[in-house]
A and B are shown apart, each in its own frame.
Chain A
Amino acid sequence: MKRAWLLVCLALLLSGCSRSEPSAVVGCSALDAGSPIDPILLAFLSRARSAHHAADALEGGGDLTGAAGPLERLIAGPVPRAHGAELAPEVHEVLADTLARLADLHSRQGAFDRALDDIRTGLAHAREPNYFRGHLLETEGLVEERHAKALESSDPAAADAIRRRAIGLLEQAMDVQSAVIERSKVNAGTPTPGASSP
């Protein structure tokens, strides 16, 4: 009886030891996506939040030059870099959005060249066809619309050319945002791993 028991155990042990092929390495997109959210990124976001709220307060009082100040300091200030080189996607997007706001503020003060520089820099931070790129194109169109109005009396031909450019930019913005809306319908119900709810 005991010998049979031992044989059963031995058989079990040998079956457990049966060799199996190593499984293929499974890629982990969640881990490969980027760096984990860390306090340094949050420090930048906190700084950005403060800058935008300070700008709100100044803009609400009619001080457009003052409102641009905190936003310009945010752009010129330190930014966190993942692995010492790349900017995090959130940083790119906050900078792009801030530059769009700066372009708006500068164009409302008649500084159209400066506003277009802001847009150009912002577009370099928003290369993907997402909401932020669409918003920058929309803002560029609005900047050019203001620019055209400003030139209407002094240089009607230039104003007309700029107005046509504005229309082109606004249509580009509409195309980008249409794609954003369409993508959101497709992606509805398939949440990104680790994605937060708004």
Chain B
Amino acid sequence: MTEIREGNSDPDPKQPDLDEERRLEALLRNAFAPREIDPTRHERLLQAALEDPFAPASPDELVESERLRQALAGQADHDDARLARALSAAFSPRLERSLREPELAQRAPARRTGRVLVVRFASTAAALAIAAAVLLRLGNQLQQGAPAPDLSTLALAQSRTTATLFQPASAGAPSERIDRIASARSRELRDNRYALWGVR
């Protein structure tokens, strides 16, 4: 096997630095155990999402939509077009289109091909090892040290006694009692629906 020589004048392949590693760890942690969103930010997101969908398009929106149209027609580039193509390819891949040939062979000088491959292999393996180690460490930490998730926040409101709603001194008339039971359970059914929609 080819040995990696020290003190080579070629630039080092890009290694993940500490900041990048921390960012990756934070992303993995957030994906694995997301925290509750800040209420103010949540409110802003809701307001942004609930803007009038039938309002006339703004000049900026018109410009952006034209750029997106051109990108979808293959005449320009646009982030949303790339996203749309990726989603389209994931949903309905077009197998008749051949993939582009890799261009590595044209770029790499023939004399260094073996070394470059080894170095690239080493750096890829290193990055994968770091990611796997972080993921496994994180998993172990969450299983061992972190408190168990609050199941009551994940669970749906259950059918249960309503006796806790009433005190002998303030139970009211029978129709008032059924009013309270029905409105409490109605609110919980609504909460359950929101939870099932993933918005609780």
Cβ contact within 8 Å between B132 and A13: yes
5 tightest Cβ-Cβ pairs between the two chains A and B: A16-B136, A12-B133, A130-B163, A9-B129, A193-B152
B182 part of interface (Cβ distance < 8 Å): yes
How far, in angstroms, from A10 to B136 measured CA to CA in the complex? 13
Interface of B is mostly: helix
Cβ contact within 8 Å between B167 and A42: no
Which B residues form the contact surface with A (CB < 8 A)?
Answer: 4, 6, 15, 119, 122, 125-126, 129-130, 132-137, 140, 143-144, 148, 151-152, 155-169, 171, 173-175, 177-182, 184-189, 192
How far, in angstroms, from A34 to B130 measured CA to CA in the complex? 44
Q: Which of A139-198 contact B (CB under 8 A)?
A: 177, 180-181, 184, 187, 192-198
A61 part of interface (Cβ distance < 8 Å): no
How far, in angstroms, from A165 to B125 measured CA to CA in the complex? 86
Question: Contacts A31-B155, A180-B168 given; 14 further ones with Cβ under 8 A?
Answer: A6-B126, A9-B126, A20-B143, A37-B159, A45-B181, A46-B182, A52-B175, A94-B178, A98-B174, A181-B167, A194-B156, A197-B184, A198-B165, A198-B184
Which residue of B has the minimal Cβ distance to A52? B175
Point out the residues of chain B lying under 8 angstroms from A33, CB to CB: 158-160
Point out the residues of chain B lying under 8 angstroms from A56, CB to CB: 173, 175
A87 to chain B, nearest CB (A): 10
How far, in angstroms, from A20 to B142 measured CA to CA in the complex? 12
How far, in angstroms, from A23 to B141 measured CA to CA in the complex? 12
Cβ contact within 8 Å between A17 and B136: yes
Which residue of A has the minimal Cβ distance to B157? A194
Cβ contact within 8 Å between B185 and A41: yes
Cβ contact within 8 Å between A30 and B155: yes
How far, in angstroms, from A52 to B152 measured CA to CA in the complex? 33
Count the A residues whose beta carbon is within 8 Å of the partner chain — how many?
64
How far, in angstroms, from A45 to B119 measured CA to CA in the complex? 70
A36 part of interface (Cβ distance < 8 Å): yes
- B181: which of A3, A94, A100 is its contact (CB, 8 Å)? A94
How far, in angstroms, from A180 to B163 measured CA to CA in the complex? 9
How far, in angstroms, from A18 to B139 measured CA to CA in the complex? 11
Which residue of A has the minimal Cβ distance to B132? A13
How far, in angstroms, from A131 to B171 measured CA to CA in the complex? 9
Which residue of B has the minimal Cβ distance to A27? B151
- B189: which of A13, A20, A42, A52 is its contact (CB, 8 Å)? A42
